[in-house]
Amino acid sequence: MGNNNTVVEPDTSNSSTVVAEPFGSLNNVEYCEPCNKQENKKLAAYWCSSCPELLCQNCYGHHKALKATQDHKLLRIDEYHTIGSRIAESISHCQIHPTKGIKFLCITHNTPCCNICKEEAHGTGCNVQLKEDVLKKKDIRRDLSATIETMTTTVEKVRTDLRNNQWNISALEKHRTLFHYEMITGRQRVDNFLNEFENDVRKKYEIAFSTSKQIVHENISKIEHKLNVLQKRTETAEKIKEFDFSESQVYLINKKFQQDNMEDKMKIENLVNGMKVVSIVANPVFTVNQEAKQITLHNGFQVGTFCHTEEGQNQPGIDEIESSSSTMEAEADLTMKDISPDDA
């Protein structure tokens, strides 16, 4: 049998050409032996167990047509490789030492061997027995039939399992359905949380806005009142100029007006400044981390309204209004940080 690593195109003279498969061939290229003897390299497609000889597609046709060889048993090249060339061709003589007969079987390596092979390759550690002794102990044909039955049963069972169980595809589909459901419900929980948070913030902001607006209106009313008092005082002072008060009386009246005017002026200035500093602290800060798939609320949300009193002290005009969202367990990679009232 001629082996060579040169790649040669297969014989395509017949449309039913069988191309040798690499399984079991150790990547060696098998050539047709009759053609090889004529220096015409064609890939082997069959092996004749009677000759024994490797045949290309063309020689296979001649082999089946000739009366002398038409009853020979042939295997496809892939079947030949499945058996193993050493086993297939070990009819009587050793492949490695052609002049030596096959007398032993190495049970360990499942291969036939001659006297030389037994000593050189299958010595200590190998279970080597006389071929005749092995064949006497077993009904070889029955064992082969049992092996065939086992392989057939395995194929049928696996194919049945494949049809019925679809290799866990059903379970995978159920898991996918559950995953989609959990994603939808998780998204709904997140949306509900954000809706509740937004509604809560809007309500409390409106409270702060209304309170701040009320403070400004109240300050304007107080300023209007002080201006009216000042206007009336001015009108009274004009009338007093026409009265026959003594100089000491006019002096005291004027001092009183001056003191009252100074106090009213300070109160008006405080009220005006108080309107200027009325403010609403409202800072909902959202951070979206695309890489980490997170939404973070920093420092929660707080609303504060501050103003000046008439006495000029900087105090909250109303109780500080704080708004904080209710927390929920982190789901769907939503993170809420520092949103408790104590932290606001």
Q: Where are the domains of the chain?
A: 1-89, 171-343
Per-residue pLDDT reduced to its tens digit, 61-90: 999 999 999 999 888 988 888 776 656 555
Average of per-residue pLDDT across 330-339: 37
Segment 109-122 shows an average pLDDT of 85
pLDDT at 99: 81
- Which range in 140-144, 208-212, 249-253, 321-325 is most confidently predicted, on average pLDDT? 249-253
* 11 has pLDDT over 50: no
Helices and strands in the chain, H and E counts: 9, 16
Q: What is the pLDDT of residue 329?
A: 35
How far is residue 186 from each of residues 9, 326, 336, measured CA to CA in Å? 61, 17, 15
Confidence check: pLDDT of 147 > 80: yes
Q: Are 339 and 321 in contact (CB under 8 A)?
A: no
pLDDT per position as a tens digit, 152-174: 999 888 888 777 765 677 788 88
* Average pLDDT score over the chain: 75
Residue range 178-195: average pLDDT? 92
Work out the average pLDDT over 47-63: 90
Position 124 scores a pLDDT of 80
Arithmetic mean of pLDDT, 206-232: 91
Give exposure, 12-22, as e/b (b: 16+ Cβ within 10 Å): eeeeebbebee
φ/ψ (deg, to 5) at 54: -85, 140
pLDDT, residue 79, reads 83
Q: With bands split at pLDDT 50, 70 and 90, how would you rate the model's confidence at 137?
A: low
Give the model's confidence band at 298: pLDDT under 50 very low, under 70 low, under 90 confident, else very high.
low
Amino acid letter, 318: I
Question: Which of these, 21, 22, 27, 23, lies nearest to 5 by C-alpha position?
Answer: 27
Task: Enumerate the β-bridge partners of residue 129.
Answer: 105
> What percent of the chain is modeled with pLDDT above 90?
24
Residue 107 has pLDDT above 60, yes or no: yes
Task: Please check the confidence at residue 177 and state whether its pLDDT lies above 90.
Answer: yes
Query: Can you tell me the mean pLDDT for 278-285?
Result: 71
HSE-up (13 A, CA, CB side) for residue 118: 17
User: Would strands 314-315 and 305-308 be described as parallel, antiparallel, or unpaired?
Assistant: antiparallel
Angle separating helix axes 169-240 and 247-277, nearest 10 degrees: 170
Looking at 110-114, 263-267, 286-290, 313-317, which range is the least confident one?
Answer: 313-317
229-235 mean pLDDT: 93
pLDDT at 140: 73
What pLDDT score was predicted for residue 19?
35
Owner of token pair 């609403």 = 280
Q: What is the mean pLDDT of residues 259-270?
A: 93
pLDDT at res. 80: 81
Residue 260: band (very low, low, confident or very high) from pLDDT cuts 50, 70, 90: very high
